[in-house]
Amino acid sequence: MKFCPLPRLLEVYRFFCFGLLLLATVPVFAQFRIEVSGVGLTQVPVVIAPFKGQEALPQKISEIIRADLERSGQFRVIASPAGVFDEASRPELSALRQSGADAFASGSVSKLADGRFDVRFRLWDVVKGQDLGGRSFAVAVPDLRLAAHRVADDIYEKLTGDKGVFSTRIAYVTKAGPRYQLWVADADGENAQSALASPEPIISPAWSPDGNQLAYVSFESRKPVVYVHNVSTGKRRLIANFKGSNSAPAWSPDGSTVALTLSRDGGSQLFLLAATGGEPRRLIQSPSIDTEPVYSPDGQHIYFVSDRGGTPQIYRVSARGQGVERITFTGTYNISPTISQDGRWLAYISRVGGAYKLHLMNLTDGTVSVITDSVADESPSFSPNGKMLVYATQQQGREALMTSTLDGKVKARLSGQHGDIREPHWGPFFK
């Protein structure tokens, strides 16, 4: 099937002015908060009616969809008119138009004979009075959240023309006492499943491009070594256990190669290794620290951090190891680069007056903006559609994960685990 993006709707996006430096905090549901700040936010006003039949379920489908859409920063969810709606309802379009809605979604969830649930929805363009179509998903109870995320993805794509990321997954690490755990969760932080539990630290998880494997650094053998871990089978492969430290794995876009940092020949230096293991080849040689490699989405370049200029800065080199260029020039501490799928944006952490803040550079013109006002940001990674970032930070002295839009105007704290939570990495779209 083909989705039809709606440029017409873009024309009627309303312009919302939240007032100078107004900071509004909108509670969505108990453990979930979205912060909206700044001026000139453009959002599609949309109604998500409560799904018929969801009262009987632990998962309120329409609330999950609503939280997804609001977290994306591109939608403002407005109150549903009174009454019960499902995917067969024809909404009162003129009344919806008067309430300021541009789009209306309704649906239902019902139990099937085999025990699964059928989640259906339909979306309307309120302005044009047009039925934009719908879908149905038959899922087992544990996948009800996934079905809701898929509905949110469909709505997002139909209204913005970009693919939604709500049904993708995020990996992250928690530390609770002496126990470290690597988790795989939905993109909203919920439904976390443990992939690995260890008494020693786990850092730098990185999704393979097919979304089936995680590379990460584990200290389980009292030194940092790199594993590749098939998430659905639990099978782990030790790909880098060379003398010294083995760290900072990053997948090539074709999944064949892992770039990583090895100290086996002295110093922290960049190497390339087949994802199945084997003998590493040196990417570049320097007398300085070179680490945190990450491939550009076209596979042509590797961005990395080096202190060759005296302070840690972001550089890039061709994937064949030629032509090192410096990328960041402002500040004295720029680390943890990550590149958006379209190659347009570089997100990284920069130290500003003793605070570590998430920054974004437009790679086309080199302009830099600060995304956060927090002080201990770490480990940014882009959503696969390049429209959001997830990163680690500290809130009230605890580690937390946040998502942000690229303009920093809409941020949400991911719910989920208790204790310290860190090292997020946003997984790819599922093929």
Partner 1 sequence: MKKFVLAGLVSTLLVACGTSVPLNDVPVEDATAKAVGADAAAAGSGVQGGGVAPVDLGRAVDQAPAPADSRLVYFDYDSFVIKPEFQAVIAAHARFLRAQPTRKVAIEGHTDERGGREYNLALGQKRAEAVRDALSILGVPSGQMEAVSFGKEKPVVLGSEEAAFAKNRRAEIRYP
> Cβ 99 to partner 1, closest distance in Å?
24
216: contact with partner 1 by CB under 8 A: no
128 binds partner 1 (CB under 8 A): no
> How many CB atoms are located within 10 Å of the residue 167 CB?
20
Minimum CB separation of residue 105 from partner 1 in Å reads 12
Q: Which amino acid is at 222?
A: R
Work out the end-to-end distance of the chain between its first and last CA atoms, rounded to an integer number of angstroms: 15
Nearer to partner 1, 207 or 409 (CB): 207
Collapse the DSSP code of 365 into the 3-class scheme (helix H, G, I; strand E, B; otherwise coil) and give the result: coil
Q: Does 46 bind partner 1 (CB under 8 A)?
A: no
Name every residue whose Cβ is closer than 8 Å to that of residue 431 and which is 6 or more positions away in sequence.
210, 211
**Closest CB 45 distance from partner 1, rounded Å:** 23
The answer to whether residue 167 forms part of the interface with partner 1 (CB under 8 A) is yes
How many CB atoms are located within 10 Å of the residue 139 CB?
A: 18
**Residues within window 357-386 making contact with partner 1, judged by CB under 8 A:** 378-379
Instruction: Scan residues 192-211 and list those touching partner 1 (CB under 8 A).
Output: 193-201, 203-204
Cβ proximity to partner 1: between 36 and 215 the closer is 215
Amino acid at 353: G
Residues within window 105-124 making contact with partner 1, judged by CB under 8 A: 119-122
Pairing between β-strand 41-48 and β-strand 103-111 as defined by DSSP bridges: parallel
Residue 252 vs 288, nearer CB to partner 1: 288
Instruction: Name which of residues 295 to 314 contact partner 1 (CB under 8 A).
Output: 305, 312
396 contacts partner 1 (rule: CB under 8 A): no
Residues 69-88 that bind partner 1 (CB under 8 A): 87
Among 71, 145, 413, 425, binds partner 1 (CB under 8 A): 145
Tell me: does residue 191 bind partner 1 (CB under 8 A): yes
Question: What's the full length of the chain, in residues?
Answer: 431
Compare residues 76 and 180 and give the one whose CB is closer to partner 1. Answer: 180
Please report the beta strands in 178-312, taking only residues with DSSP state E, as ranges in sequence order. Answer: 179-186, 193-198, 202-207, 213-218, 225-230, 236-240, 246-251, 257-262, 269-274, 281-282, 290-295, 301-306
Residue with tokens 């580690």: 399
